[in-house]
Amino acid sequence: MKPKTLLGAATAVALALPAYADGTLNLYTWSDSISPELIEKFEAQTGITVNTDGFNSNEDALTKLQAGSSGYDIVTPSQHFVKIMIDEGLLEDIGAKDLAAYAQVDDKWKGQWWDPENAYSIPLAYGTAGFAVNRDVYEGPVDSWAVYFTPPADLKGKVASLSYPDEVVGAAQLFLGVPFCSEDKAEMKKVYDLLMAQKPDVAAYSSDNIENRLGTAEVGAHFWWDGNVLKTRNDGANIVYAEPKEGLVGWLDSFVVPKGAANVEGAKQFIDFMSEEENATIQYNYYAHSSPVKLDLTKAKYTPENAPELFPTVPVEFSKACSPAAQDLVTKVWTDLLK
């Protein structure tokens, strides 16, 4: 329960705001990705009740929106899925370029191919997908995807993957020199053969509970994201994020508003709020992924010295929105792999 003084302040603010501020805001974001402190702060400032629901894959978020009437006001997909959602007419044109949040965005993230007119999205966070190893299990080098896809003796049967193909297939393509979104069946057969050869050494295909699976050495290597590795390492796990010479898979997640959302104005308000320098810094320190909006560097927690996971020195290639033909090949590779 909120203190009386806080309720009083929230009510006073709410009375000064448009009617939408009295409503609710339903978020569908990557699991545990939004700072609870900021949710409480936003609710106190606006009187809007924020409900959060989590997903663990872009595919889950897309499926929910494709089903229609999702009930969500904000979703946070990665760049290639933003493009897919725009192309399928699943998003509201929120005039992102006119939002206060847009002025906070680093210029390098404006006008990108997934939203060239900056109409639909405001970036939330970016980073890389790669793999981490538990040093209690494996002490060797982690400078190549070969360690993950063709595991050495110490990692035999102790590798774990994600439950969906998106970034895993991309990593395999980086290792093999196959371009993202290849429509060449022979090239994708190489990807399939690599993953099938790895399969006997994969203990789990799962996107849940990775911190425990890897942190407790249940497995020795796990496909994962940069910031999650950082947070788990800071919690005491003896793990390290690999920097494969073939490169890492890049991602950038953005705030978008589903078509037909009930509280579009509240969603814009939340996006602006999250992009304010002070709040973006709180979010950065909580989420432990790189920020595409301005931070208060005097309060930012992570630096190249204490968070090398966020500052890779190897090439980073961002996932793309593939043609239907290319996406069908990715789906077929993964479906056949998991049979």
Non-local (6+) Cβ contacts of 55 within 8 A are: 28, 29, 30, 31, 61, 64
Beta-strand relationship, 122-134 and 239-241? antiparallel
pLDDT at 5: 31
**Confidence tier at 178 by pLDDT (50, 70, 90):** very high
209: left (phi over 0), alpha (psi -120 to 50) or beta: left
Lowest-pLDDT choice from 96-100, 129-133, 162-166, 274-278:
162-166
pLDDT digits (tens, 9 = 90+) for 309-326: 999 999 999 999 999 999
Across the range 40-65, mean pLDDT stands at 95
Across the range 302-312, mean pLDDT stands at 97
Both tokens of 4, joined, read 């009386």
Give the Cα separation of 310 and 128 in Å (integer): 8
Report H helices in the chain. Answer: 4-15, 36-46, 58-66, 79-87, 100-104, 146-149, 166-176, 185-198, 210-215, 226-234, 264-275, 277-287, 324-337
Q: Give the three-state DSSP class for 160.
A: strand
The pTM score is 0.89
**Confidence tier at 11 by pLDDT (50, 70, 90):** very low
Both tokens of 309, joined, read 């996971």
pLDDT at 12: 36
Q: Give the three-state DSSP class for 241.
A: strand
pLDDT digits (tens, 9 = 90+) for 258-290: 999 999 999 999 999 999 999 999 999 999 999
Give the Cα separation of 175 and 177 in Å (integer): 6
**Mean pLDDT computed over every residue of the chain:** 93
pLDDT at 6: 30
Give the Cα separation of 189 and 184 in Å (integer): 9
Across the range 230-247, mean pLDDT stands at 97
Both tokens of 207, joined, read 């996107």
pLDDT digits (tens, 9 = 90+) for 17-39: 343 445 999 999 999 999 999 99
Of the two residues 5 and 199, the one the predictor is more confident about is: 199
**Confidence tier at 68 by pLDDT (50, 70, 90):** confident
